[in-house]
Amino acid sequence: MPRIAYLVSSASEIALADGATHPTGYFAEEAIKPYERFVAAGADVVVLTPDGRPPTADPYGLEYFFHFPEQDMDFFASVTRTFHHDPDDIRITLHHTTELGLVAGRRITERLRERGATFADAHALVSRAAKIAWREDRQLPEVMVTEALDGGLSRAEIQAAVDELEEDARALSAEREGKLDAIPGFRAPVSLASLSDSRLGEFDAVFAPGGHGPMVDLADNPDAGRLLKILHDKGAPIATLCHGPALLLSAPEREDGQWLFDGYRMTCFTDEEEDQTAPGRIGMQWYLDAALKNAGAVFDDAPSAWVSHVVVDRNLITGQNPGSTEATADAVLKALGIR
């Protein structure tokens, strides 16, 4: 049974560029999905925090728009693919997915089908309206009504689809928070600082989820550096996601004086994505992707922001953003040979 060090930040606030502090912690989706996957695969998952304090879920990561059901997000992707022939030409920002009602397309399509439209016709109608909303920065319900793309639905019916999506997303966020609160290791984690080198050597892998927390207490942490060196020396998987790669900055130098991961391909939450977040709009003290590049990383990000992207280089596994959560976890299981 592989033993995984599940290293979670215990930070609850981060200092921003203006000197003010902002609530932070771990990102709920990035914490619960890999944990459940690893446990289901039969791994022994040990939750660690740097100091043994229980971790805090980042309030921002619990916002409903980070918890849209997967079938809605999949449909949204099928809509945005109609905007251009080349997906690389499409720039989808956090604003598009959270503020314009575009992710409600699947539910609006269902309502159109109840009115007798075929799936193809309903999908085409929603896609036309979504493209206008995306290009002109307008609300999808407003576009469908004013541009005569409502298919016979009233504004209230279209808005009801948007409201229904938000309600389900809020319920999913609460469900995930509840699951995390119920995990004994999240209530009483093991202190990384308390573990000897021999104890650290008993782990077969490390995984660190994101949230801005790792930028506070994992980016310059000697105990995290010990763990990374010990696992790296035996070729064990070192995996981390989104802001979690801040952990890698704690890695010590090699004998040649270079960073332990110098020349490794990796990814993380990009500067472009960061500038779209609530803390990023206020102003970060530093940016993770720039710090990794400066340390010696060969940075490898997705063609566009917010899409799933995982990079595997030797024993290092990194995921770019929340949308990369499942793929990153699956890469860990594959590396451990239990997928």
Domain containing residue 232: CATH number: 3.40.50.880
Contact 289, 269 (CB under 8 A): yes
179 found inside a domain: no
Alpha helices per DSSP H over 101-193:
105-114, 119-136, 140-146, 155-182, 184-187
Do 132 and 102 have their domain in common? yes
Say what angle helices 155-182 and 105-114 make with each other, to 10 degrees: 130
Q: Which among 216, 266, 259 is positioned nearest to 242, based on CA atoms?
A: 266
- Do 266 and 318 lie in a common domain? yes
Give the pairing type, strands 310-313 and 265-266. unpaired
Same domain? 107 vs 137? yes
- Distance (Å) of CA 296 to CA 209, 265, 276, 291: 22, 10, 25, 9
Rg, the chain, Cα only: 21
Cα end-to-end span (Å), the chain:
13
Do residues 193 and 45 both lie within one domain? yes
pLDDT for res 304: 86
Q: Is 203 found in the same domain as 70?
A: no
β-pair partners for 319: 241, 310
- Choosing from 145, 174, 203, the residue where a domain stops is 174
* 36 and 169 part of one domain: no
Q: Report in angstroms the alpha-carbon separations of 58 from 17, 68, 213.
A: 19, 17, 8
Amino acid occupying residue 65:
F
Asked if 81 and 166 sit in the same domain, the reply is yes
How confident is the model at residue 85, as a pLDDT? 67
Q: How far apart are CA 32 and CA 185, in angstroms?
A: 12
Q: What is the pLDDT of residue 8?
A: 98
**Which residue among 174, 209, 232 closes a domain?**
174
Q: What residue type is 306 in one-letter code?
A: W
User: Half-sphere exposure of 194 toward its Cβ, with a 13 Å CA cutoff?
Assistant: 8
pLDDT of residue 86: 65
Please indicate, yes or no, whether residues 212 and 258 belong to a single structural domain of this protein: yes
Residues 131 and 247 in one domain: no
Neighbouring CB atoms inside 10 A of 233's CB total 10
Q: Are residues 45 and 89 in the same domain?
A: no
Residue 147 CA, chain-centre distance (Å), reads 35
Contact 261, 318 (CB under 8 A): no
181: in domain:
no
- What local confidence, expressed as pLDDT, does residue 267 receive? 98
Distance CA 63, CA 54 (A): 21
- Running along the chain, 339 residues long, what does each successive block of 10 average in pLDDT? 97 96 97 98 98 97 96 95 74 92 98 97 98 96 97 97 98 98 98 98 98 98 98 98 98 95 98 95 96 98 92 98 97 94
HSE-CB at 219 with a 13 A cutoff on CA atoms is 19
Residue 99 DSSP SS3: helix
- Considering the domain architecture, whether residues 200 and 327 belong to the same structural domain is answered as yes
Element (H, E) at 225: helix 222-233
Domain that holds residue 237: 3-55+189-336
Among residues 115, 142, 174, the one where a domain terminates is 174
Q: Say what the pLDDT of residue 84 is.
A: 76
Detail the DSSP E strand segments found in 253-336.
265-266, 298-299, 310-313, 316-319
Residue 291 counted as domain residue: yes
pLDDT of residue 92: 87
Structure-token pair, residue 168: 């389900």
Whether residue 274 contacts residue 281, with contact meaning beta carbons closer than 8 Å, is answered with: no
Tokens representing 128 are 């036309």
Quick one: pLDDT at residue 38? 98
Residue 199 lies inside a defined structural domain of this protein: yes
Same domain, 34 and 148: no
Please count the structural domains in the chain: 2
Residues whose CB is less than 8 angstroms from the CB of residue 100 and which lie 6 or more positions away in sequence, other chains included? 133, 134, 137, 138, 139, 140
Confidence (pLDDT) at 87: 60
Cα 254 to Cα 290: distance, rounded to the nearest angstrom = 21
| Residue 6, beta-bridge partner list | 47, 207
